[in-house]
Amino acid sequence: MTTDAARSGLAETPLQSVAWAGDRLDLLDQRLLPEQIVFLPLTTAEDVWEAIRQLKVRGAPAIGIAAAYGVYLGVRNTEGDAEQVRAEIVRQADYLATSRPTAVNLFWALDRMKAKAEALLAGGQTTDAAALKAAMLDEAKQIQAEDEETCRLIGEHALTLLHDGVGILTHCNAGGLATAKYGTALAPIYLAKERGWDVKVFADETRPVLQGSRLTAFELQQAGVDVTLICDNMAGMVMSKGWVQAVIVGTDRVAANGDVANKIGTYGVAVLAKAHGIPFYVACPLSTIDLNTPTGAEIPIEERGEEEVTHGFGKRTAPAGVKVYNPAFDVTPHEYVSAIITEKGVVTAPYGENLRKLFAK
Ligand code: MRU
């Protein structure tokens, strides 16, 4: 499908960013959106590593899903017995874990793949190398299927905080493109639309990689949602006009104390929301909550190449040689977070205590 074809009418089904295609992984190249809709056939773990690193696939849950398939692609041709396959699973998972540092879903998915192999061998459920490889593909499919249901549940819980006629501001892309389906922050918007609610969305364009304009505005427009694109520096103006009743964003990692890492610029949006008395909600699956990271200060923040900042509109937009700082994420302190919306329900402060309870349920 080309974008022109997509533009001629609403897409019948939302675009799936990661799809298993029998013998390969078909990955929607998100760098090319919205101008081109291109699916890349990936056949090796190296392909998947590159795709994650270069943001062809991005968004915390989608990265985890792609990496899980990457483990299978990395071991499917491994020769030897089940123990040799298990060792290769660990090697490939550890390799894929070096692709990006911030989204904990990547490590969560890879740990789950390793644990599955471990459990099958330790439990004596298989001693067969072929069966172990097949189990890796099944597990990756399972992670993807669970994510779809998880996102739907996040949407249901988020709806309890919203109302017909609500204006929502979001930052970056935490939609269907970033997950198996629905998204996290965008899930309630899709569910609200299904229920006939009138919802207006303001999408921050999200400098420097423009996930908000290229991806969020694109997927909401495709779904027929009332979306208005704004530059990041317009968020305060839009809030001051009374057009926003809730901010909802996704996250790449929630620390044990409720501090939230998300796309650079999120912190500023949270401060603006507080200044305007607007609730600031974070939507994420439990797989994004990292109780092993005590506070936001310990979350590793990816820094990306300077050309993301010095170039735009197909040309250089900054003087050659200028110093550049380009963190891909920032941390919003938990004091600014009104609630964290998960598949198990809505969590409010004190986060240290209440996030822990979520895992005990
Ligand atoms: O650099 P990206 O595009 O991978 O960053 C994505 C985000 O910051 C999303 O908000 C986050 O991963 C949540 S996706 C449901």
Q: In the prediction, which pLDDT does 2 show?
A: 39
Structure tokens belonging to residue 229: 């694109």
Q: What global pTM score does this model have?
A: 0.95
**Domains of the chain as residue ranges with CATH:** 18-150 (1.20.120.420), 162-358 (3.40.50.10470)
Ligand 1: lining residues by beta carbon, under 6 Å: 58-61, 103, 172, 174, 178-179, 183-184, 211, 250-252, 262-263, 328
Local confidence band at 123 (pLDDT 50, 70, 90 cut-offs)? confident
pLDDT at 276 over 90: yes
pLDDT at 144 over 50: yes
Question: Tens digit of pLDDT for each residue in 179-214?
Answer: 999 999 999 999 999 999 999 999 999 999 999 999
**CB < 8 Å & 24+ apart, contacts of 34-43:** 34/3, 34/214, 34/215, 34/217, 34/218, 35/3, 36/2, 36/3, 37/1, 37/2, 37/3, 37/6, 42/69, 42/70, 42/73, 43/73
For 180, which DSSP code? S
Q: Length of the chain, please?
A: 361
Residue from 151, 172, 190, 218 whose mutation best tests the ligand 1 pocket (most atoms within 8 A of CB) = 172
CA pair distance 325, 309, nearest whole angstrom:
8
What ipTM does the predicted assembly reach? 0.99
Class of residue 46 by CB neighbours under 10 A (exposed 0-12, middle 13-18, buried 19+): middle
Which residue reads 């994004």 in tokens? Answer: 288
